[in-house]
Amino acid sequence: MTVVFNPEMKSLLQKQVRITINQKREAIGTLVGIDQFMNLSLRRVQIKAPFDPKPVVVDSCVIRGASVLSLEAINT
């Protein structure tokens, strides 16, 4: 899933990103892949939800592009 159609998105690969998802959820992890539908593949991910005080930590996940509200690089 490493096909990248947008050069700006390619610059975010292998970097820490913060993704805002629908229902006020947020995922922070390393972006490792993206496809033409903007489905995002992440590694070492923390998923935060407003109704859960503790973030859920997973090794990898795929976020469907239709759920993404915003994507930003995190300076580490």
- Each residue's pLDDT tens digit, 25-55: 999 999 999 988 899 999 999 999 999 899 9
Q: What is the pLDDT of residue 3?
A: 56
Radius of gyration of the chain (CA): 12
> Domain range spanning residue 61?
7-73
* CA pair distance 32, 29, nearest whole angstrom: 9
- pTM greater than 0.75 (yes/no): yes
The number of folded domains in the chain is: 1
Per-residue confidence band for 69, with pLDDT thresholds at 50, 70 and 90 = very high
Model confidence at 73: pLDDT above 60: yes
For residue 56, being part of any structural domain is answered with yes
Model confidence at 4: pLDDT above 60: no
For residue 2, being part of any structural domain is answered with no
* Residue 10, helix vs strand vs coil: helix
The CATH number covering residue 37 comes to 2.30.30.100
